[in-house]
A and B are shown apart, each in its own frame.
Chain A
Amino acid sequence: MMNSGTPQKKVRLKRFLVLAAVLLVLLAVNLAVPRKKVPPQVGVRTLKDLAELATVEYHVTKIVSYKDVAWYGDRKILFEAAATVKAGIDMNELTDQDIQLNDDAAVSITLPQPKILLFNMKPEHMREIFNESGILRSDFSNQEKDDLLSQGEKDIRVKVARMDIQKRAARNARILVESWLKKMGFSQVNVSFRGQGVRP
Chain B
Amino acid sequence: MKKILAVIQIVLLLAIVFMLYNPLAKLGLLPSLPALFHGGKPQIEETPIIIQQVKNIAQMFTQTFYDEYVYDTGLMRTPPFNVNKRLIFIAKGEVISGFDLSELSENSITRSGKSIVVKLPPARILEVIINPSGFETFIEQGDITFEETKKYHEDARRIFERNAREKGILKNSAEQGRQMLEKFLRLLGFESVDIIIPEAR
Contact = CB atoms under 8 A, between A and B. Distances in A.
A149 B62 CA distance: 29
Nearest to B114: A104
Interface residues of B, number: 91
Ordered nearest first, which 5 A-B pairs have the shortest CB separation?
A26-B19, A149-B132, A123-B153, A128-B146, A33-B23
14 contacts: A49-B62, A51-B62, A53-B101, A56-B56, A57-B53, A59-B53, A64-B47, A99-B187, A99-B188, A104-B189, A123-B157, A131-B146, A146-B135, A183-B109
Nearest to B45: A65
> Of A36, A86, A123, A141, which is in contact with the most chain B CB atoms at under 10 Å from its CB?
A123
Given A40-B138, A50-B63, A118-B127, A91 B184 contact: yes
A123 B155 CA distance: 10
A63 B47 contact: yes
Nearest to A60: B49
A33 B146 contact: no
B176 A66 contact: no
A26 B16 contact: yes
A30 to B, nearest CB: 5
A176 B58 contact: yes
A60 B50 contact: yes
Interface in A1-53: 12, 15-16, 19-20, 22-23, 26-27, 29-30, 33-37, 40-43, 45-53
A172 B57 CA distance: 8
Given A43-B68, A51-B61, A147-B42, 10 more contacts: A46-B65, A50-B61, A50-B62, A66-B44, A118-B129, A120-B129, A123-B150, A154-B133, A172-B56, A176-B58
A107 B188 contact: yes
Interface residues of A, number: 96
A93 interface: no
B65 A15 contact: no
B50 A61 contact: yes
A30 B8 CA distance: 21
A13 to B, nearest CB: 8
A12 B5 contact: yes
A54 to B, nearest CB: 4
Contact of A151 (B22, B43, B101, B111): B43
Nearest to B108: A183
Interface of A: 12, 15-16, 19-20, 22-23, 26-27, 29-30, 33-37, 40-43, 45-68, 81-82, 84, 86, 88, 91, 94, 96, 99, 101, 104, 107, 117-124, 126, 128, 131, 139, 141-156, 159-160, 163, 168, 172, 176, 180-181, 183-186
A24 B48 CA distance: 53
B143 A139 contact: yes
Nearest to A151: B44
B194 interface: no
Given A19-B13, A47-B63, A62 B169 contact: no
Contacts of A181: 188
A61 B53 CA distance: 10
> Of A49, A107, A117, A139, which is in contact with the most chain B CB atoms at under 10 Å from its CB?
A49
Nearest to B34: A138
A53 B62 contact: no
Contacts of A147: 41-42
Interface in B1-26: 2, 5, 8-9, 12-13, 15-16, 19-20, 22-23, 26
